[in-house]
Chains A and B, each alone.
Chain A
Amino acid sequence: GESVGLHLPTLSVQEGDNSIINCAYSNSASDYFIWYKQESGKGPQFIIDIRSNMDKRQGQRVTVLLNKTVKHLSLQIAATQPGDSAVYFCAENLGPDNNAGNMLTFGGGTRLMVKP
């Protein structure tokens, strides 16, 4: 079946640098994408989302870019801080107009390590 996958399992950055975490998806019918942050022993924490009718969305220090042509999603974190160290997951959803619109399919995760 189609699934979401990640290019890099571990990303190590210096504090203050920008981080880019990538995700590839294969289901062209996916309508909605979410980035989650998961710290050790905790549940996934919502960071930012984007719908397929957009190609960029900005939050506080985070930006999500969606390239539907190549089915690629990225999360950019500006001025990365030690508190950003965690595993980051992308997840996709087929959207509310689809019978499977409630189910999130998660990627494998990228571990971000921020060096002080």
Chain B
Amino acid sequence: EPEVTQTPSHQVTQMGQEVILRCVPISNHLYFYWYRQILGQKVEFLVSFYNNEISEKSEIFDDQFSVERPDGSNFTLKIRSTKLEDSAMYFCASTEILGGSAYFGPGTRLLVL
């Protein structure tokens, strides 16, 4: 069964450093998403991406965040200058159609020290 994959599984970084989280969505899916989950809290929407541009973003997704689809398979989330409160699990997801079932990757656990 096709699945969303993410790398790395864990990332530790110093406050102020840039991180790039990588995702490979399901190959025939057209819509891509990033969500995050702070430990013990709800899964929160960050951003959705379609046709090489952001289609929606939440208040969390400020100027420190950016997304990119650098090639036909990868989808990345960049945090330019990490803060302590960026520590969370970051999940990539994809859907085949607008409003369809979102399939999530295993997540990247980001720890900012």
Report A's interface with B, CB cutoff 8 A.
31-32, 34, 36, 41-46, 49, 89, 91, 93-97, 99-109
Taking CB atoms, residues of chain A closer than 8 Å to B4 are 43
**Could you list 24 examples of A-B contacts with CB < 8 Å?**
A31-B99, A42-B107, A44-B43, A44-B104, A46-B101, A46-B103, A46-B104, A89-B42, A89-B43, A91-B43, A95-B99, A96-B98, A101-B99, A102-B33, A102-B50, A102-B99, A103-B45, A104-B35, A104-B45, A105-B45, A106-B42, A107-B42, A108-B42, A109-B42
Q: Which of B33, B98, B103 has the most CB of A within 10 A?
A: B98
Taking CB atoms, residues of chain B closer than 8 Å to A95 are 99
Per the bound structure, the CA–CA distance linking A100 and B102 in Å amounts to 14
Name the interface size band of chain B: 20 to 34
CB-CB under 8 A for A32 and B104, given A103-B45, A103-B48: no
6 extra A-B contacts, CB within 8 A, seeds A96-B100, A99-B56, A107-B42: A32-B99, A43-B105, A43-B106, A102-B50, A102-B56, A104-B35
Report B's interface with A, CB cutoff 8 A.
4, 31, 33, 35, 42-45, 48, 50, 55-56, 58, 91, 95, 97-107
CB-CB under 8 A for A104 and B105, given A44-B91, A96-B97: no
Residue contact B102 to A46, C-beta cutoff 8 Å: yes
Taking CB atoms, residues of chain B closer than 8 Å to A89 are 42-43
The 4 closest A-B CB pairs, nearest first, are A96-B99, A43-B104, A102-B48, A96-B98
CB-CB under 8 A for A45 and B104, given A96-B99, A102-B33, A102-B48: yes
Residue contact A93 to B99, C-beta cutoff 8 Å: yes
Per the bound structure, the CA–CA distance linking A42 and B89 in Å amounts to 9
CB distance from B41 to the nearest CB of A (A): 8
Q: Which of B44, B50, B101 has the most CB of A within 10 A?
A: B101
